[in-house]
Protein backbone atom coordinates (compact mmCIF):
# COMPACT_ATOMS: atom_id res chain seq x y z
CA UNK A 1 0.00 0.00 0.00
CA UNK A 2 1.19 3.41 -0.75
CA UNK A 3 1.08 6.39 1.53
CA UNK A 4 -1.90 7.97 -0.24
CA UNK A 5 -4.10 4.99 0.44
CA UNK A 6 -2.94 4.84 4.08
CA UNK A 7 -3.78 8.54 4.52
CA UNK A 8 -7.13 8.05 2.78
CA UNK A 9 -7.92 5.03 4.95
CA UNK A 10 -6.89 6.99 8.07
CA UNK A 11 -9.14 9.91 7.08
CA UNK A 12 -12.05 7.52 6.47
CA UNK A 13 -11.53 5.84 9.88
CA UNK A 14 -11.35 9.26 11.60
CA UNK A 15 -14.53 10.40 9.80
CA UNK A 16 -16.35 7.17 10.75
CA UNK A 17 -15.26 7.50 14.40
CA UNK A 18 -16.27 11.21 14.43
CA UNK A 19 -19.61 10.27 12.84
CA UNK A 20 -20.18 7.62 15.49
CA UNK A 21 -19.37 10.14 18.24
CA UNK A 22 -22.13 12.33 16.80
CA UNK A 23 -24.62 9.61 15.80
CA UNK A 24 -24.63 7.50 18.99
CA UNK A 25 -25.84 10.32 21.31
CA UNK A 26 -28.42 11.34 18.70
CA UNK A 27 -29.64 7.75 18.50
CA UNK A 28 -29.90 7.56 22.31
CA UNK A 29 -32.03 10.73 22.32
CA UNK A 30 -34.23 9.28 19.56
CA UNK A 31 -34.70 5.99 21.42
CA UNK A 32 -35.39 7.88 24.65
CA UNK A 33 -38.13 9.88 22.90
CA UNK A 34 -39.68 6.69 21.57
CA UNK A 35 -39.68 5.14 25.06
CA UNK A 36 -41.21 8.33 26.45
CA UNK A 37 -43.97 8.29 23.84
CA UNK A 38 -44.64 4.64 24.54
CA UNK A 39 -44.92 5.36 28.27
CA UNK A 40 -47.31 8.24 27.58
CA UNK A 41 -49.52 6.00 25.44
CA UNK A 42 -49.45 3.31 28.12
CA UNK A 43 -50.32 5.86 30.83
CA UNK A 44 -53.20 7.22 28.73
CA UNK A 45 -54.55 3.72 28.18
CA UNK A 46 -54.33 2.98 31.91
CA UNK A 47 -56.16 6.23 32.66
CA UNK A 48 -58.88 5.36 30.16
CA UNK A 49 -59.25 1.91 31.74
CA UNK A 50 -59.66 3.50 35.18
CA UNK A 51 -62.23 5.96 33.84
CA UNK A 52 -64.20 3.20 32.11
CA UNK A 53 -64.16 1.08 35.27
CA UNK A 54 -65.43 4.05 37.28
CA UNK A 55 -68.20 4.62 34.72
CA UNK A 56 -69.17 0.96 34.96
CA UNK A 57 -69.29 1.15 38.77
CA UNK A 58 -71.41 4.31 38.56
CA UNK A 59 -73.81 2.63 36.14
CA UNK A 60 -74.04 -0.42 38.40
CA UNK A 61 -74.77 1.80 41.41
CA UNK A 62 -77.49 3.62 39.47
CA UNK A 63 -79.06 0.30 38.51
CA UNK A 64 -78.79 -0.95 42.10
CA UNK A 65 -80.48 2.26 43.29
CA UNK A 66 -83.28 1.79 40.75
CA UNK A 67 -83.72 -1.80 41.90
CA UNK A 68 -83.87 -0.62 45.51
CA UNK A 69 -86.53 1.95 44.62
CA UNK A 70 -88.57 -0.73 42.86
CA UNK A 71 -88.17 -3.04 45.85
CA UNK A 72 -89.33 -0.24 48.17
CA UNK A 73 -92.38 0.36 45.95
CA UNK A 74 -93.20 -3.33 46.12
CA UNK A 75 -92.78 -3.32 49.89
CA UNK A 76 -95.08 -0.29 50.18
CA UNK A 77 -97.73 -2.02 48.08
CA UNK A 78 -97.40 -5.16 50.16
CA UNK A 79 -97.70 -3.16 53.36
CA UNK A 80 -100.77 -1.37 52.01
CA UNK A 81 -102.35 -4.74 51.26
CA UNK A 82 -101.38 -6.15 54.64
CA UNK A 83 -102.86 -3.20 56.52
CA UNK A 84 -106.19 -3.63 54.83
CA UNK A 85 -107.00 -7.21 53.98
CA UNK A 86 -104.57 -9.85 55.22
CA UNK A 87 -106.04 -12.85 56.92
CA UNK A 88 -104.42 -15.11 59.52
CA UNK A 89 -104.18 -17.83 56.87
CA UNK A 90 -102.13 -15.55 54.61
CA UNK A 91 -99.90 -14.63 57.55
CA UNK A 92 -99.28 -18.35 58.12
CA UNK A 93 -98.43 -18.70 54.43
CA UNK A 94 -95.88 -15.86 54.72
CA UNK A 95 -94.39 -17.49 57.81
CA UNK A 96 -94.05 -20.86 56.07
CA UNK A 97 -92.47 -19.19 53.03
CA UNK A 98 -89.94 -17.49 55.30
CA UNK A 99 -89.15 -20.85 56.91
CA UNK A 100 -88.57 -22.36 53.47
CA UNK A 101 -86.12 -19.59 52.61
CA UNK A 102 -84.26 -20.11 55.88
CA UNK A 103 -84.17 -23.87 55.30
CA UNK A 104 -82.72 -23.34 51.81
CA UNK A 105 -79.90 -21.31 53.36
CA UNK A 106 -79.38 -23.85 56.13
CA UNK A 107 -80.29 -21.33 58.85
CA UNK A 108 -83.54 -22.84 60.02
CA UNK A 109 -83.97 -22.19 63.74
CA UNK A 110 -85.76 -24.53 66.10
CA UNK A 111 -89.46 -23.75 66.16
CA UNK A 112 -91.65 -24.50 69.13
CA UNK A 113 -95.41 -24.35 68.71
CA UNK A 114 -97.11 -23.14 71.85
CA UNK A 115 -100.83 -23.84 72.19
CA UNK A 116 -102.54 -20.49 72.07
CA UNK A 117 -105.17 -18.71 70.08
CA UNK A 118 -104.27 -19.22 66.40
CA UNK A 119 -101.28 -21.46 67.23
CA UNK A 120 -98.80 -18.59 66.98
CA UNK A 121 -95.27 -20.00 66.52
CA UNK A 122 -92.50 -18.94 68.89
CA UNK A 123 -88.95 -19.10 67.60
CA UNK A 124 -86.16 -20.24 69.90
CA UNK A 125 -83.20 -17.85 69.81
CA UNK A 126 -80.66 -20.65 70.39
CA UNK A 127 -78.85 -21.96 67.32
CA UNK A 128 -78.96 -25.62 66.30
CA UNK A 129 -75.32 -26.05 67.33
CA UNK A 130 -76.12 -25.30 70.96
CA UNK A 131 -79.00 -27.79 71.08
CA UNK A 132 -77.90 -31.32 72.00
Same structural domain, 70 and 45: yes
User: How many residues are listed for the chain in this entry?
Assistant: 132
What is the mean predicted confidence (pLDDT) over 28-35? Answer: 92
pLDDT of residue 32: 92
Least confident of 20-24, 26-30, 55-59, 91-95: 91-95
Per the CB < 8 A criterion, the answer to whether 124 and 116 are in contact is no
Measured CA distances, 73 to 6, 54, 91, 123, 124 (Å): 99, 29, 20, 29, 32
Same structural domain, 82 and 94: no
> What is d(CA 9, CA 29) in angstroms, rounded to the nearest whole number?
30
> What is d(CA 5, CA 12) in angstroms, rounded to the nearest whole number?
10
Structural domains in the chain (count): 2
Condensed to tens digits (0 to 9), the pLDDT of residues 38-83 reads 999 999 999 999 999 999 999 999 999 999 999 999 888 887 877 7
Same structural domain, 60 and 94: no
Condensed to tens digits (0 to 9), the pLDDT of residues 94-128 reads 778 887 888 787 776 666 655 555 555 555 545 55
Q: Residue 3, class by beta-carbon neighbours within 10 Å (0-12 exposed, 13-18 middle, 19+ buried)?
A: exposed
Q: Residue 21, class by beta-carbon neighbours within 10 Å (0-12 exposed, 13-18 middle, 19+ buried)?
A: exposed
Same structural domain, 104 and 122: yes
> What is d(CA 99, CA 109) in angstroms, rounded to the nearest whole number?
9
pLDDT of residue 132: 45
Same structural domain, 97 and 120: yes
Residue 129 pLDDT > 70: no
Same structural domain, 40 and 25: yes
Same structural domain, 18 and 55: yes
Amino acid sequence: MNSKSIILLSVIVVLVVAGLFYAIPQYKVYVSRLYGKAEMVRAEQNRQIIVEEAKARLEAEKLNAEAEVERAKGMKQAMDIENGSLTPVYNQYLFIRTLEKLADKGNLPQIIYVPSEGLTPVMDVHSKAQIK
